[in-house]
Amino acid sequence: MRNLKSRFNVLLLLSPLLLNMSGCAYDQQKPAILATTKNIPYPVIDTVLGEKLQPNEKQFAQQISESIGQSIRQQYALGHAQRDAHPKAHGCVRAEFHVSKSLPTNLAQGIFIPDKTYSAWIRFSNASRDATQADDKKDARGMAIKILGVPGKKIMENDDQAMTQDFIMINYPVFFVNEAHRYLSFIENVNSESTLKKLRIPFALGFQGTMNAFKASNSKIANPLQARYWSMTPYQLGLGNDRQAVKYSAKPCTQNLTTRPNNPTHDFLRVALRNSLAKGDACMVFLIQPRTSNKMHIEDSMTEWKESQAPFFQVATIHIPQQVFDTPEQNAFCENLSFTPWHSLPAHRPLGAVNRLRKVIYETVSTIRHEMNSAPKKEPQ
């Protein structure tokens, strides 16, 4: 009984932290954008790799998307619409994504063509939905990579001729929810005006989900270039009978750690990124973690695939050249970019319920944001 009471008290204390993990806020009026989500084709599952559709999953995806979309319309009715999650960027930087010369056949799939070099954009960010939050606050941090010059038909039906491939990661290896109905309940509680409902947030997520959310949002970093990032969710690698499930990660080439300033400024992570690339080049490596056991469930994004059981393999080097990125023109360009794991070749198809939900959510939010800002929604060349 004492243990249960202790857990309850921990969950109540975590409620404010979980608000930052929601990535959205909305008024509980009836959403008016149902047609937008209904027109987005829902992914077909791959039962061979272990995908399993949840009851009413598509409907939950629509409800979550409509709620977030409605919030954006209301929150930014009189101003520039921002992302519902990761709105605060530390910067968008130019990069080169060089695939390793020697790769085993099972990893040399999709864009991973040995010795191939691609141009890329990388956006570093805070996860909190509060774009004004100081960088010194504990928060998850994001790294979104957009590879350019990728030929082949893509998965996104309305953008299948785009020449881009996206990889989206944060600096924590697991997500805080697996089930669509829990995610919807979480969103409803987060955005309720009722204090009682806000206190139900940990119960909507469950104990493990709450702990994952707390740990993910409890980090402090000194420089976006010196953190490690994970995909959290699984992805397909390859096509046909040889396809497999993998996860991704990126980390610095060397542990040349920057120390955190004693009195950090409000945007010190942008300053750290700017200073690093003013002095010289930066280097990161891109890693793939093949699944080694069917016990590593595709539909479970809340449990880490332990590296001791499923090691990561380096497949590419990310070279970020010395540059000046913090300009009004480049910052505006960065704001108009859209990142989604579904900007993808079929050989890198996102897997699992969280990714299936993302297809509807990300596309809906991006469309609304660009429409409100009268900005063209197109992938860079």
DSSP-assigned letters across all residues of 322-361: S----SHHHHHHHHH----TTSS-GGG-B-SHHHHHHHHH
Task: Name the residue among 38, 35, 25 with its Cα closest to residue 68.
Answer: 25
* Structure confidence at residue 192 (pLDDT): 63
**For residue 24, pLDDT beyond 70:** no
**For residue 200, pLDDT beyond 90:** no
* Structure confidence at residue 162 (pLDDT): 95
Per-domain boundaries in the chain: 48-373
Q: How confident is the model at residue 236 (pLDDT cuts 50, 70, 90)?
A: very high
**Alpha-carbon torsion, ordered 221, 223, 226, 231, to 10 deg:** 70
pLDDT digits (tens, 9 = 90+) for 296-343: 999 999 999 999 999 999 999 999 999 999 999 999 999 999 999 999
Task: Output the pTM of the full model.
Answer: 0.90
The mean per-residue pLDDT over the stretch 239-260 comes to: 92
pLDDT over 90, % of the chain: 71
Q: How confident is the model at residue 226 (pLDDT cuts 50, 70, 90)?
A: very high
CATH class of domain segment(s) 48-373:
mainly beta
Rounded alpha-carbon distances, angstroms, from residue 156 to 1, 344, 359, 360, 379? 50, 7, 9, 11, 12
Contact of 204 with 186, CB cutoff 8 Å: yes
The dihedrals phi and psi of 45, each to the nearest 5 degrees, come to -80, 155
**For residue 190, pLDDT beyond 50:** yes
Query: Of residues 367 and 191, which shows the higher confidence score?
Result: 367
Query: Of residues 198 and 289, which shows the higher confidence score?
Result: 289
- Cα separation, 181 vs 140, in Å, equals 23
* Structure confidence at residue 381 (pLDDT): 81
Q: Where are the alpha helices (DSSP H) in the chain?
A: 2-21, 34-38, 57-75, 180-190, 195-198, 201-216, 268-279, 328-336, 353-372
**For residue 10, pLDDT beyond 50:** no
**For residue 11, pLDDT beyond 70:** no
* Structure confidence at residue 67 (pLDDT): 82
pLDDT digits (tens, 9 = 90+) for 343-356: 999 999 999 999 99
* Structure confidence at residue 37 (pLDDT): 65
The contacts of residue 373 (CB under 8 Å, 6+ apart) are 80, 81, 336
The contacts of residue 334 (CB under 8 Å, 6+ apart) are 89, 91, 92, 121, 123
Task: Name the residue among 239, 230, 27 with its Cα closest to residue 112.
Answer: 239
* Structure confidence at residue 30 (pLDDT): 40
* Structure confidence at residue 4 (pLDDT): 41
Strands (E), 197-329: 229-230, 235-237, 244-252, 282-290, 313-320
**For residue 46, pLDDT beyond 80:** yes
